[in-house]
Amino acid sequence: DAGVTQSPTHLIKTRGQQVTLRCSPISGHKSVSWYQQVLGQGPQFIFQYYEKEERGRGNFPDRFSARQFPNYSSELNVNALLLGDSALYLCASSSNWGTEAFFGQGTRLTVV
Amino acid sequence: KNEVEQSPQNLTAQEGEFITINCSYSVGISALHWLQQHPGGGIVSLFMLSSGKKKHGRLIATINIQEKHSSLHITASHPRDSAVYICAVLTSGSRLTFGEGTQLTVNP
């Protein structure tokens, strides 16, 4: 079975641009969460979706948005990119509420 | 003060040594994850536990809910164990709160 897949793996964007990151959860998993990991730090929670509804949002500005589709895949959108948005963006899926999380390889975003 | 604290931040060991990484947390949790992150970023879940002890190969994880503390032990360490080990707690709303990670280097 395929694990959590994220695309693209690497991305370079210019300040002010918009970016969309994609995540496909493990088949049958209904929950998807997004995390931002700045170099040298632990990941920080951005969003959680369960059964296509937003169930939690971290302390991130409104430039960050996300959604979950009927097939449980998810997109993370970031508008008006800043240099400080450069980070590894991780997606995690779990089969149900509160169950073990499985992570994708991440998307490394560089804003120049 | 972070809700999840790990120690040590950096750890260097010789091959074969017994290694312990500690995690303390200050919030109510439903479970705790130990994760491994290699250069390049991918995160692998090693354990999820809510009580007691779990063992997988050379890895052992323990948790004491009353003391809000968990430990990850690696027996007979090997250079391929070199990675960042992250403790993450599952809090209300099923979100994970992470520690800063422990960089482990095992020298041959």
The tens-digit pLDDT sequence of chain B (108 residues) is: 689 999 999 999 999 999 999 999 999 998 999 999 988 778 999 999 999 999 999 999 999 999 999 999 999 999 999 999 999 999 876 789 999 999 999 999
| Position B53, amino acid | K
How does pLDDT run across A4-49, given as a tens digit for each residue? 999 999 999 999 999 999 999 999 999 999 999 998 889 999 999 9
Q: Which residue of B has its CA nearest to A89?
A: B41
* B9/B22 Cα distance (integer angstroms): 10
State the Cα–Cα distance between residues A37 and A6, nearest whole angstrom.
Answer: 15
- B96/A45 CB distance under 8 A: yes
Task: Kindly report the number of other CB atoms within 10 A of residue B98's CB atom.
Answer: 23
Dihedral pair phi/psi, residue B94, rounded to 5°: 60, 30
Of A42, A94, A105, which is closest to B101 when you measure between CB atoms?
A42
Query: What's phi and psi for B80, nearest 5 deg?
Result: -70, -10
Task: Say yes or no for a CB contact (<8 Å) between A101 and B45.
Answer: yes
- Give the model confidence (pLDDT) of A55-104 as tens digits: 999 999 999 999 999 999 999 999 999 999 999 999 999 988 778 899 99
Nearest to B45 among A48, A103, A108 (CB): A103
Contact criterion met (CB below 8 Å) for A70 and A52: yes
B25 CB-near residues (< 8 Å, 6+ apart) = B3, B4, B5, B32, B68, B69, B70, B87, B89, B97
Q: A101: which chain B residues are within 8 Å (Cβ-Cβ)?
A: 33, 45, 48, 90, 96
> What pLDDT score does A96 carry?
83
Residues of B engaging A, defined by a Cβ cutoff of 8 Å: 4, 30-31, 33, 35, 40-45, 48, 86, 88, 90, 93-101
Search chain A and give the residue with CA nearest B48: A100
Taking CB atoms and an 8 Å limit, are A33 and B44 in contact across chains?
Answer: no
Q: Which DSSP letter does residue B75 get? A: S
